[in-house]
Chain A
Amino acid sequence: MNAIIVSALLGVVMMFAGIVLKKTAQIQGVAILGILALLGTTLVDLNLVGADTKTFYNMIELNAVTAWFNVLITFCALAYFTLFSKAIAAVGKNDSDYFALLFFVMCGVYLLSTYSNMLILFLGIEILSIPQYILAGSDKENIKSNEASLKYFLMGAFSTGILLMGITLIYGATGSFDIFSEGFIAQFQSSAALNTMSFAGVLLLIIAIGFKVSAAPMHFWTPDVYDGTPTAFTPFMATIAKVSVFVAFIRLFHLSFGNVSNDWQTAIAVMIVLTLLIGNLTAVYQQSVKRMMAYSSIAQAGFMLFAIYSLNNLAWKGLILYSVAYTLASLGVFAVLIKMKDYTYEGFNGLAKKEPVMAATATICLLSLAGIPLTGGFFAKYYVLSAAVEQGKWIGIVIFAVLMAAISAYYYFRLIRSMYFAEGEAALSYTPSSLEKTFLLINALLVILLGVLPGIL
């Protein structure tokens, strides 16, 4: 709960840091100190669990799971800042503003993981999205970046409208915004009690939130936006921002709409199948690694949707493990990608010979994304699929998902092939320092650690 305030304040601090500090290295230093402070704050918040879990007029509810999620997601943000701070500052002139915007996104993340009121859900999604619209367009002289920003903004505005419509309908049916209020509980206690108005509201919420997590068929913005956005910000949008919307998703649908799951599970199941199919099959045909990662993030969202689909404890555990494993692995791949001159597969040819550390860490992260055992990605997939099997409704989609995972191995291994087995002169845009390589290695080791002992989360 303190994290919400601290992150917003840090955003303001970063804005002023740009005026006071002139050297970009200092600004980066302040940003990393800031995210460390934020990590400390979330750790302090862990102690608040149990004492008085509801604050801000009962609009925010912190429980053990979400407090822990906040710590982990802030840790991921720390990993992002350490791996990318140089690249963020290099995007344009307003380096302190970029960091400020990232801190504002973090504020949205905390709102989304702890809301107990639909208004805060709406606020959270907006606070999360608006800075992202700006970040997408931060490379002002690049037409693709401008296109990404405009596209993201227009599509995002539509989904906001749909989200508001959903919230309004549910408010009309229940008479309350509070997801723990009596009106809510009465309306959503069983399928019989559910009236048409709130059912329509639930479906609209699925569409709006599905848009934010880029679930098919609301995924069309994703490849263009992720591709056009400066590479320094794409990983942040694809990982930290995305998984926190997933936590908002599971919170609302498990805690409030859990009893009427029969009415919405079919919709989620259809989304899972479409997302996995479109994400994986389209990723196969990409020639640019950055675009492949964009489609891969759609495909990975398909797996995370299993956590929404399955109403059990394992789903929560699975989503959190998936969030962290997916985030760290994607960050690892993007951190290598951003140092390349040519983003196509051919651009990676021969990287293993030139920069063995970069190639090795990227390989570990790709193995994790493909879900190979002894990397975090395996247990992440395992947990969510296992939760879906425990749910038991349609086993078929689990088998389908597994086949899609096999397809995903194709395009992840294609990159490994380029790096290790193809001849070429992988041209780097700049050679990373040994400190940066150390961070890459630590990141890869964390991915393996999650794969050996997933129980630590």
Chain B
Amino acid sequence: MLIVLLILVPLIGGLLAMLLPEKMAYPFAMITSVSTLVIAAVSYMQYTQGAELIIDHNWIDIVGARFHVGLEAGDGLAVLMMMLTAIVFPFIFISLRNKQPEKVNTFYSLMLFAQAGLMGVFLAKDALLFYVFWEVALIPVYFLSSMYGGPRRIPVTFKFFVYTFAGSLIMLVAILLIYRHAPIRSFSWDSFVSIGQAMPASEQTWLFWMMFIAFAIKMPVFPFHTWQPDAYEQSATPVTIVLSAIMVKMGLFAVVRWLLPVIPLGSAQWMNVVIMLSVISVVYASCMAIVQTNIKRMIAYSSIAHIGLMCAAIFSHQILGMQGAAIQMFNHGITIAGLWMMVGIIEHRFGTQDMREMGGVAKVAPLFTIGLVVMSLANIALPLTNGFIGEFMMFNGLFKTVSPYHTLFTVFAGLGIILAAVYTLTMIQKVAYGPENTKTASFTDLTMNELVVMIFFVVMILVLGFYPKLLMDLIYVQP
């Protein structure tokens, strides 16, 4: 029962937030997201104690689809993603306390709908249900990005929507084609895995690409990434956080849950191509990040680079690499959410996204600068921040890949670390140090609610950096 509440609470909360009077919307959304976090925490506790949280109910009998959501043994990644979704939303809301968006009712209800959809994606154990949530998560985000943000937001979001919608429809056909082989009509994950084991390699090739393209668009991996920098730049910061901290993880998560086990031969056959694309993503996006002057675009490209590395590590087919990717998916979510909030503050105070117009913040806003620096260092994966351990494991896995090009992959992906240091440190230098200008003088330090958010993320980054065992235990599999 608990597990359904994770989806139901934000869903019903979203409906009510739409109907409540304007003043009530914010507190109500806050309460809803905190209760979701509490439910998620309780689920996490129960899961670590070995309980299996499952709801499996008849849904559409004629096609054999079931309402099957749950966390079973071995679903560590789903637990991580579920926790990430539950953690990020309340802190987005806290950070918005002193800068409420227009049309608050619509905003918070769409945010909560998005949370419900994301939860569903991570918890679904039935392919059709997974597909439904996959799309349902997209619609509120489409509206959010179109309503709030920069001047070019509407066409940019439309591009994003059409890209992902086309991709997911192709995935739907792949799901149908796999389902066709089911001995008894079923969309369950178990049934899909057993079909995949028996399917000839020639058929898997097609299915692999049909599904991978859908996931690659979402991640995004080169050459399907063109929607992403525009969408991140033009969306309002809270929406960008949802997109980059959680939504892009849907793509990676789907690869781990629905692609590798279901289409094993296809994945193995094409792993070199996919890793190559991912490594291109890393190098290309890092180079693009260096030349950006717009701070949001820079972080958008940095996000593509990180996702590329995770995708490469997942396709390394090495347990260590995949575990590293799993940890990094959570940690990247935390880091990037924190970083975006800092960027949101910068954008709000400076009134611009152009880094050339910034400078000297460290003197007027020391607390802010501490937060920005810690989060940036975590973004470079410095040891003792949360980014390090995952990245280390991913490179380890990538190097051990059974592929003639494993050294080449690792070396080029390794370039990403160096380049990350270049663009991140340049960003800190441009924003926090350097000459002050007229705008800097009016830059006030963190307000109380921003401080709470900042401290939370810094503590998370350091704790998970010092003691990554918290995450490792969840996804540890006996090699």
Q: Do A and B come from one complex?
A: yes
Min CB distance A324 to B, Å, is: 15
Q: Does B16 contact A (CB under 8 A)?
A: no
What is the bound-complex CA distance between A402 and B158, given in angstroms?
A: 18
Q: Does A220 contact B (CB under 8 A)?
A: no
What is the bound-complex CA distance between A428 and B62, given in angstroms?
A: 43
Q: A389-B180, A398-B173 provided; 4 other pairs, C-beta below 8 A?
A: A372-B136, A373-B132, A405-B169, A409-B161
Min CB distance A60 to B, Å, is: 28
Q: Does B198 contact A (CB under 8 A)?
A: no
One digit per residue, 1 when the CB lies within 8 angstroms of any chain B CB and 0 when it does not, for chain A 28-72 equals 000000000000000000000000000000000000000000000
One digit per residue, 1 when the CB lies within 8 angstroms of any chain B CB and 0 when it does not, for chain A 320-359 equals 0000000000000000000000000000000000000000
- Judge whether B180 and A392 touch: CB under 8 Å: yes
Q: Does B61 contact A (CB under 8 A)?
A: yes
One digit per residue, 1 when the CB lies within 8 angstroms of any chain B CB and 0 when it does not, for chain A 371-406 equals 011100011001101100110100100110011011
Interface size class of A (residues with CB under 8 A): 20 to 34
Min CB distance B147 to A, Å, is: 7
- Other-chain residue from B63, B136, B147, B176 in contact with A398 (beta carbon distance below 8 A): B176
What is the bound-complex CA distance between A11 and B193, given in angstroms?
A: 58
One digit per residue, 1 when the CB lies within 8 angstroms of any chain A CB and 0 when it does not, for chain B 149-164 equals 0000010001001100
* Residues of the B chain whose Cβ atoms lie less than 8 Å from the Cβ of A402: 169-170, 172-173
- Other-chain residue from A374, A390, A403, A455 in contact with B60 (beta carbon distance below 8 A): A455
Q: Does B166 contact A (CB under 8 A)?
A: yes
What is the bound-complex CA distance between A395 and B177, given in angstroms?
A: 9
- Other-chain residue from A372, A379, A399 in contact with B139 (beta carbon distance below 8 A): A372
Min CB distance A385 to B, Å, is: 6
Q: Does A439 contact B (CB under 8 A)?
A: no
* Residues of the A chain whose Cβ atoms lie less than 8 Å from the Cβ of B146: 417, 420-421
- Judge whether A406 and B169 touch: CB under 8 Å: yes
- Judge whether B177 and A389 touch: CB under 8 Å: yes
What is the bound-complex CA distance between A454 and B176, given in angstroms?
A: 17
Min CB distance B418 to A, Å, is: 39
Which of chain A's residues has its CB closest to B166's CB?
A406
Which of chain A's residues has its CB closest to B61's CB?
A455
Interface residues of B in 90-145 (CB under 8 A from A): 128, 131-136, 139, 143
Min CB distance A363 to B, Å, is: 9
Q: Does B165 contact A (CB under 8 A)?
A: yes
- Other-chain residue from A383, A389, A405, A421 in contact with B154 (beta carbon distance below 8 A): A421
Q: Choose among A378, A392, A453 the residue with the greatest number of B CB atoms under 10 Å from its CB.
A: A378
* Residues of the B chain whose Cβ atoms lie less than 8 Å from the Cβ of A453: 59-60
Which of chain A's residues has its CB closest to B180's CB?
A389
- Judge whether B158 and A314 touch: CB under 8 Å: no
Min CB distance A69 to B, Å, is: 16
- Judge whether B180 and A409 touch: CB under 8 Å: no
* A455/B162 contact (C-beta < 8 A), A367-B139, A402-B170, A406-B169 known: no
List 4 A-B pairs, minimum CB-CB distance, nearest first. Answer: A406-B166, A373-B132, A373-B135, A402-B169
Task: Give 28 A-B contacts (CB < 8 Å), ordered by A residue.
Answer: A372-B135, A373-B132, A373-B133, A373-B134, A373-B136, A374-B132, A379-B60, A382-B63, A385-B172, A386-B179, A389-B177, A389-B180, A390-B180, A402-B169, A402-B172, A405-B169, A406-B165, A409-B162, A413-B158, A417-B158, A420-B143, A420-B147, A421-B147, A421-B154, A453-B60, A454-B60, A455-B61, A455-B62
Which of chain B's residues has its CB closest to A363's CB?
B143
- Judge whether B166 and A403 touch: CB under 8 Å: yes
What is the bound-complex CA distance between A395 and B203, given in angstroms?
A: 13
- Other-chain residue from A317, A374, A398 in contact with B62 (beta carbon distance below 8 A): A317
* Residues of the A chain whose Cβ atoms lie less than 8 Å from the Cβ of B133: 373
* Residues of the A chain whose Cβ atoms lie less than 8 Å from the Cβ of B158: 413, 417
What is the bound-complex CA distance between A417 and B154, given in angstroms?
A: 8
Interface residues of B in 55-71 (CB under 8 A from A): 59-63
- Other-chain residue from A379, A383, A389, A403 in contact with B169 (beta carbon distance below 8 A): A403
* Residues of the A chain whose Cβ atoms lie less than 8 Å from the Cβ of B136: 372-374
* Residues of the B chain whose Cβ atoms lie less than 8 Å from the Cβ of A317: 62
* Residues of the B chain whose Cβ atoms lie less than 8 Å from the Cβ of A455: 59-62
Which of chain B's residues has its CB closest to A392's CB?
B180
What is the bound-complex CA distance between A383 and B172, given in angstroms?
A: 12
What is the bound-complex CA distance between A45 and B386, given in angstroms?
A: 68
* Residues of the B chain whose Cβ atoms lie less than 8 Å from the Cβ of A421: 146-147, 154
Interface of A is mostly: helix
Q: Does A16 contact B (CB under 8 A)?
A: no
* A386/B63 contact (C-beta < 8 A), A378-B132, A406-B165 known: yes
Inter-chain residue pair count (beta carbon < 8 A): 76
Q: Could you list which residues of chain A lie within 8 angstroms of chain B, going by C-beta atoms?
A: 314, 317, 367, 372-374, 378-379, 382-383, 385-386, 389-390, 392, 395, 398-399, 402-403, 405-406, 409-410, 413, 417, 420-421, 453-455
Min CB distance A322 to B, Å, is: 14
Which of chain A's residues has its CB closest to B171's CB?
A402
* Residues of the A chain whose Cβ atoms lie less than 8 Å from the Cβ of B131: 373
* Residues of the B chain whose Cβ atoms lie less than 8 Å from the Cβ of A378: 132, 135
- Other-chain residue from A374, A379, A406 in contact with B162 (beta carbon distance below 8 A): A406
- Other-chain residue from B59, B63, B180 in contact with A383 (beta carbon distance below 8 A): B63
What is the bound-complex CA distance between A454 and B129, given in angstroms?
A: 13
What is the bound-complex CA distance between A410 and B173, given in angstroms?
A: 20
What is the bound-complex CA distance between A36 and B63, given in angstroms?
A: 33
Min CB distance A397 to B, Å, is: 11
* Residues of the B chain whose Cβ atoms lie less than 8 Å from the Cβ of A420: 143, 146-147
Which of chain B's residues has its CB closest to A451's CB?
B132
What is the bound-complex CA distance between A386 and B62, given in angstroms?
A: 12
Min CB distance A448 to B, Å, is: 11
What is the bound-complex CA distance between A267 and B40, given in angstroms?
A: 54
One digit per residue, 1 when the CB lies within 8 angstroms of any chain A CB and 0 when it does not, for chain B 199-243 equals 000000000000000000000000000000000000000000000
* A314/B63 contact (C-beta < 8 A), A372-B139, A417-B154 known: yes
- Judge whether B132 and A413 touch: CB under 8 Å: no
What is the bound-complex CA distance between A378 and B175, given in angstroms?
A: 14
Min CB distance B21 to A, Å, is: 15
What is the bound-complex CA distance between A395 and B172, given in angstroms?
A: 13
Which of chain B's residues has its CB closest to A457's CB?
B62
What is the bound-complex CA distance between A365 and B131, given in angstroms?
A: 20
What is the bound-complex CA distance between A367 and B161, given in angstroms?
A: 13
Min CB distance A253 to B, Å, is: 21
What is the bound-complex CA distance between A385 and B162, given in angstroms?
A: 20
Which of chain A's residues has its CB closest to B60's CB?
A455
What is the bound-complex CA distance between A455 and B132, given in angstroms?
A: 15
What is the bound-complex CA distance between A383 and B134, given in angstroms?
A: 18
- Other-chain residue from B143, B170, B179 in contact with A399 (beta carbon distance below 8 A): B170
Q: Choose among A383, A392, A406, A410 the residue with the greatest number of B CB atoms under 10 Å from its CB.
A: A406
* Residues of the B chain whose Cβ atoms lie less than 8 Å from the Cβ of A392: 180
Min CB distance A235 to B, Å, is: 25
Which of chain A's residues has its CB closest to B163's CB?
A406
* Residues of the B chain whose Cβ atoms lie less than 8 Å from the Cβ of A399: 170, 173
* Residues of the B chain whose Cβ atoms lie less than 8 Å from the Cβ of A413: 158, 161
Min CB distance B313 to A, Å, is: 31
What is the bound-complex CA distance between A403 and B166, given in angstroms?
A: 7
Q: Choose among B59, B128, B131, B172 the residue with the greatest number of A CB atoms under 10 Å from its CB.
A: B172
What is the bound-complex CA distance between A413 and B157, given in angstroms?
A: 11
What is the bound-complex CA distance between A402 and B135, given in angstroms?
A: 14
What is the bound-complex CA distance between A383 and B60, given in angstroms?
A: 11
- Judge whether B165 and A409 touch: CB under 8 Å: yes
Min CB distance B114 to A, Å, is: 13
